[in-house]
């Protein structure tokens, strides 16, 4: 009888354990095939990440240390997954068009749940931030965009970070995740 009760308790908690993999500060977002998901957020719900050495680490190569000031404000973290043979495009736009946001994202195995700054390595990392100078023939808007491609038969976890420049700890944004 006791074994049955323990088994019942364990099986009823199993669905909760599958969502318990990500830390409390990561919002899990389900992407939809051939559709877009839009999430509203605010930098105020995030936190500062003092140690940005993970980003310039050659095992991650997310953004160079010369760009750290663009990521010194609050960080808001999201997680999703990328299924086999798909492309995941993520963009973020501040509600205030004068807002200055940066975005980064990294891919890891589907059984990995690491979040920055504890990131010794990842499969790939992408970032987008405000340019330091104008680019000939291009105009930059307040939208920031990154993309992941998965040509394999495997599913991978993706962590998305929305950040702001030094001393910026609040600011509303809309994040769009599109899965093709």
Instruction: List the beta bridge partners of residue 2.
Output: none
Full-model pTM: 0.85
User: For residue 68, what is the DSSP state?
Assistant: G
Cα separation, 6 vs 130, in Å, equals 54
φ/ψ of residue 7, rounded to 5: -65, -40
β-strand partners of 91: 145, 176
Say which range, 6-20, 59-73, 89-103, has the weakest mean pLDDT.
6-20
The pair of three-digit structure tokens given for residue 95, joined into one six-digit string: 């509600």
- The residue to which tokens 């769009």 are assigned: 176
Average pLDDT for the chain: 88
* Banded model confidence at residue 20, pLDDT cuts 50, 70, 90: low
CA-to-CA dists, residue 11 to 4, 6, 7, 15, 111, angstroms: 10, 9, 6, 8, 20
Q: What is the pLDDT of residue 9?
A: 39
Mean pLDDT of 125-141: 77
Question: Domains of the chain: which residue ranges?
Answer: 23-130+142-179
Fold of 23-130+142-179: Jelly Rolls (2.60.120)
């Amino acid at each position: 009888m006791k074994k049955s009760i323990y088994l019942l308790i364990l099986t009823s908690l199993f669905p909760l354990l599958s969502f318990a993999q990500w830390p409390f500060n990561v919002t899990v977002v389900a992407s939809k095939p051939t559709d877009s998901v839009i999430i509203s957020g605010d930098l105020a719900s995030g936190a500062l990440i003092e140690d940005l050495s993970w980003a310039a680490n050659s095992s991650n190569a997310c953004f160079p240390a010369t760009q750290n000031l663009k990521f010194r404000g609050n960080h808001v973290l999201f997680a999703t997954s990328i299924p086999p043979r798909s492309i995941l495009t993520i963009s973020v736009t501040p509600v205030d068009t004068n807002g200055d946001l940066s975005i980064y994202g990294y891919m890891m195995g589907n059984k990995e749940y690491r979040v920055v700054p504890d990131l010794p390595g990842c499969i790939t990392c992408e970032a987008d931030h405000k340019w330091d100078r104008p680019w000939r023939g291009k105009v930059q808007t307040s939208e920031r965009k990154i993309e992941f491609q998965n040509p394999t038969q495997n599913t991978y976890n993706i962590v998305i970070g929305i950040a702001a420049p030094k001393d910026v700890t609040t600011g509303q944004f809309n994040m769009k995740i599109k899965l093709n």
